[in-house]
Amino acid sequence: MTDTIVGAVTPAPGKRGSGTNYGGRVTHPAVAALATIAQWPELVEPIAEVREALTALRWHQALRRRIPESAAESRVRGAQASGELEGSRLPVDLVREYIAGARAWPVDPDPVEDVMRGIVAATAASEEIRGQVLGAPAQALARLHVAAIGHLVDADARRRPGARIPADTVGRPRAAGEVCEELVDVGPPPAPGEVAQRLSLVSELVRGHGAVPAVVLCAVVHAEVATVRPFTRGNAIVARALERALVQATGLDPTGVAVTELGHFRQTMPAYVGALAAYATGSRDGVRIWLEHCCQAYAAAAQEGRIVADAVLAGRLPR
């Protein structure tokens, strides 16, 4: 199965080249292909607009001295929007209290609280892994998955019907016999045997980030994790948290104030899932649809980041 951009741009077996040479440095074929995709005529202008919007955000007056406070509020609003994309709605003020540790999670949570607890943890972990993600993407991915579903672990889950998540499935890709029932509208996920190969290609893309425009890299890595669905649960949550970390680590938004998750949600959940489904076809049009969706999302993320920075500058955030 190669119905995604990573599969589509990688040379067929027996035809794999050594990649493209950039100033004496050989680049992986998939990295070189993504660099080419960034030059598609219909993407050149949207990518430039994203860069311009995020550069303008970087120079906001509030971010001269108050980046940590602004970035923290971005994670609050990002977690709330990520919950909306999972069908779990909590008021932003409540999410803020959970992230700040000012409110304890219920002992007997309902399904919405269960999902939001993982989202809050994964969004917070995106800040912790940003220094690791470019050099060790596989480890960063595993850490985000532990954050997203670690609270659902049950050591006896394999033996007890109706239990939650077996401890040995956390932080590692699906193995033979393990299935994922998430994002069914995107299409069937690859079999476990293909997952490791696809994740290896994702790691190659991230490590080759210097040869790929950050807009394209962040968008494709998000889509790959969400469509490959390497884990039994929590894939889209992890994909959005990983995207947030990459947007900051690659320098697309070094402040961490852009609210990437809200950028996706602003286009509605059906549009988000539909764009992922288009990407999963591996067609040129499908990949274009996803990348255009992400360009719109990042531009909206920058706009929301300015709203956050304005609120911080005016002292309007709740204490």
Domains of the chain from N-terminus onward:
27-314 (1.10.3290.10)
| Distances, alpha carbon 127 to alpha carbons 75, 114, 177, 212, in Å | 9, 21, 33, 22
d(CA 95, CA 79): 7
Residues whose CB falls within 8 Å of the CB of residue 41, separated by 6 or more in sequence, listed in order: none
pLDDT tier, 315 (very low <50, low <70, confident <90, very high otherwise) = confident
Residues whose CB falls within 8 Å of the CB of residue 43, separated by 6 or more in sequence, listed in order: 37, 216, 288, 291, 292, 295
- The proportion of the chain whose per-residue pLDDT surpasses 70, expressed as a percent, equals 88
Mean pLDDT calculated for residue range 69-80: 96
Closest CA to 76 of 125, 145, 124: 124
pTM: 0.91
d(CA 124, CA 212): 26
- pLDDT surpasses 70 at 11: no
- pLDDT surpasses 70 at 1: no
d(CA 229, CA 190): 8
Q: Residue 22 has what pLDDT?
A: 39
Q: Residue 319 has what pLDDT?
A: 54
CB-count exposure of residue 238 (10 Å: 0-12, 13-18, 19+): buried
- pLDDT surpasses 70 at 313: yes
d(CA 250, CA 261): 17
Specify whether the CB–CB gap between 299 and 263 falls below 8 A. yes
24-70 pLDDT tens trace: 455 788 899 899 999 999 999 999 999 999 999 999 988 888 999 99
166-206 pLDDT tens trace: 888 899 999 999 999 999 999 999 999 999 999 999 999 99
Q: Residue 16 has what pLDDT?
A: 41
DSSP letters along 53-114, please?
Answer: HHHHHHT-GGGGT-HHHHHHHHHHHHHHHHHHHTT----HHHHHHHHHTSSPPPSS--HHHH
Helix (H, G, I), strand (E, B) or coil at 305: helix
298-308 pLDDT tens trace: 999 999 999 99
